[in-house]
Amino acid sequence: DMVVRSPGRINLIGEHTDYNKGLVLPAAINRYVYLGLGEREDDQVFLYAEKYKERLQVDLGALERSRTHWANYILGVIAQFKNKGHSVGGLNICIMGDIPDGAGLSSSAALECATAYAINALFNHQLVRKELAFIGQRAEHEYVGVNCGIMDQFSSILGKKDQAILLDCKTITYNYVPLETPGYEILLLDTGVKHALASSAYNDRQASCQQGVSWVEERYPQVDSLRDISLAQLRECVYEKDHAIYQKCKYVVQENLRVERAAAALKNRDVKSLGDILFTAHWALSKEYEVSCRELDFLVGFAEDSPKVAGSRMMGGGFGGCTINLVESGCAEEFAREAAALYEKEFNRELTSMQVEIVDGTEII
C-alpha cells in the first residue's frame, strides 16, 4: 500500500510557448493530488474519486478509454506502461486533492504524474522522472485527447522546493533557477471563469503558429519551429501574407526572449525587472496573441495601479483561470480583498485568492 502526492504548478512566464518548442519557467506549488493505492490479487482496477463520489471498475485485460472523464488520466497512464511492455497488476486507487479545477494549475498533469510515479514504484520499473513525465503527456494525448505540451507533467514530477524550472521544450533540457523574490510573495487570483472559446482558440493558435513556420520554411528550409525563427524572418515571410498570423508568431518569438530575461532577473533576485516583464507579457497575450478576457485584463490592470504589486499576468491557456501576482510581503491578503471587492462590483462574481509556496515534485508520503 502506498500514498503518493503530486503537486500542481504555476508558470511564471512562457505562455503558449511549450507547443512551439520554446522556453517556459514553471514551478511546483503546495496544492496536490493525492493517490492512495493498494495492490490486488486479480487484474481488476477499482477507482474511486473522492471529489465526485464516483467509482469505476476496469479490467486490465480490456483496457480502453472510459466515458468517465477523470478516469482516463489514470487509465491512459496504465496503458502507456503496458504499451512499453511494463507489467501492471490489479489495483485499488483512491483519488483526492486540493488543486482547484479549471484554475489552470494543471490538476490533470498532477494526477497523471502521481499515477505514473506510483506504478513505477509499486511494480519496480525503475523509470526515471523524465520518462514518467512523457508517460503522463502521452496518456493525455491518447486517452484524454488533449494535445498538451510537456511543461505541466515536467513541473509536477521534477519540481524542486524554492526553485523554478527553466525548461527548453525543443531539446527537453532544463535547469533549476532559485525562485527567490525578496520582499514579495506569489499570489494567485482565480477569475472563476472559463470562457467557452478556450479549447477551440488553443487549436486555432497552434494552427496559426504552424502556418507561420511553414511560410518561413519555404524560404529557410532549415527552420523547424518558431524557436528557430527571428523577428526579421517573420517580417520577411509572414507579415505580407497574413498580419494576424504574423502577430501570433511574433508574440511567441518575443515571449521566448522574455523567458530568458525573466530567468536572468530571478538569478539576480531583481523582482522589479521580473515584475515589469510579467506586465509586458500579459498585454502581449491580451493584444497580440488574443487569449485573454475582460476579467483577466481587469485584474492585471488593477494590479498595475497598485503600489503593492511588482508584476502580474494571466497564467495558463487563457480565457479565464488565474492571474499570478508578485505582491509585497504581508500585503497579499489586503490586496486580494481590494481586488475581490472591485471584481465583484464589476462582474458580479466571487474572486478567490491563493498564496502559494514552491515545493518538491511527486513523492511518496
Q: What is the full DSSP assignment across 30-73?
A: EEEEEEEEEE-SSSEEEEEETTTTEEEEEEGGG----SSTTHHH
Q: Average pLDDT for residues 211-235, to the nearest whole number?
A: 98
Q: 24-38, 193-207, 329-343: which range is least confident on average?
A: 193-207
* φ, ψ at 334 (rounded to 5°): -65, -45
Q: Which of 42, 101, 152, 228 is an active site residue?
A: 152
pLDDT band at 271 (very low <50, low <70, confident <90, very high): very high
Res 148 pLDDT > 90: no
Tell me if 190 sits within 8 A of 100, measured CB to CB: yes
Strands (E), 160-296: 163-168, 173-178, 184-194
Work out whether the CA dihedral 44, 50, 53, 54 comes out positive or negative.
negative
pTM (2 d.p.): 0.94
Q: Which pLDDT belongs to residue 147?
A: 80
* φ, ψ at 219 (rounded to 5°): -100, -25
Q: Average pLDDT for residues 342-354, to the nearest whole number?
A: 98
Q: 1-5, 148-152, 215-219: which range is least confident on average?
A: 148-152
Q: Average pLDDT for residues 49-78, to the nearest whole number?
A: 97
Give the largest CA-CA distance in the chain: 65
Q: 28-42, 91-105, 256-270, 276-290: which range is least confident on average?
A: 91-105
Tell me if 173 sits within 8 A of 321, measured CB to CB: no
- Percent of the chain topping pLDDT 70: 99
Which of the following CATH numbers is that of domain 184-355: 3.30.70.890, 3.40.50.2000, 1.10.3720.10, 3.20.20.70? 3.30.70.890
Map out the domains of the chain as residue ranges: 2-179, 184-355
Strands (E), 118-238: 163-168, 173-178, 184-194
Res 41 pLDDT > 70: yes
* φ, ψ at 91 (rounded to 5°): -145, 145
Choose among 235, 240, 237, 252: nearest CA to 288.
252
What is the grid cell recorded at 354? 491563493
Q: Which pLDDT belongs to residue 303?
A: 99
Choose among 36, 42, 39: nearest CA to 60.
42
Query: Does residue 152 have an active-site annotation?
Result: yes
Tell me if 57 sits within 8 A of 71, measured CB to CB: no
pLDDT band at 199 (very low <50, low <70, confident <90, very high): confident
Res 198 pLDDT > 70: no
Which is it for strands 54-59 and 44-49: parallel, antiparallel or unpaired?
antiparallel
Q: Is residue 329 classed exposed, middle or buried when 0-12, 13-18 and 19+ CB atoms within 10 A define those classes?
A: exposed
Q: What is the dihedral of CA 289, 290, 292, 295, to 10 degrees?
A: 150
Using DSSP's 3-state secondary structure scheme, residue 185 falls into strand
Q: Average pLDDT for residues 272-284, to the nearest whole number?
A: 99
Domain range 2-179, CATH class: alpha beta
Q: Is residue 121 classed exposed, middle or buried when 0-12, 13-18 and 19+ CB atoms within 10 A define those classes?
A: middle
Q: How far apart are CA 157 and CA 328, in angstroms?
A: 29
- What is the layout of strands, in order, in the sheet containing 363-364? 54-59, 44-49, 91-97, 26-39, 2-11, 363-364
Which is it for strands 309-315 and 352-355: parallel, antiparallel or unpaired?
unpaired
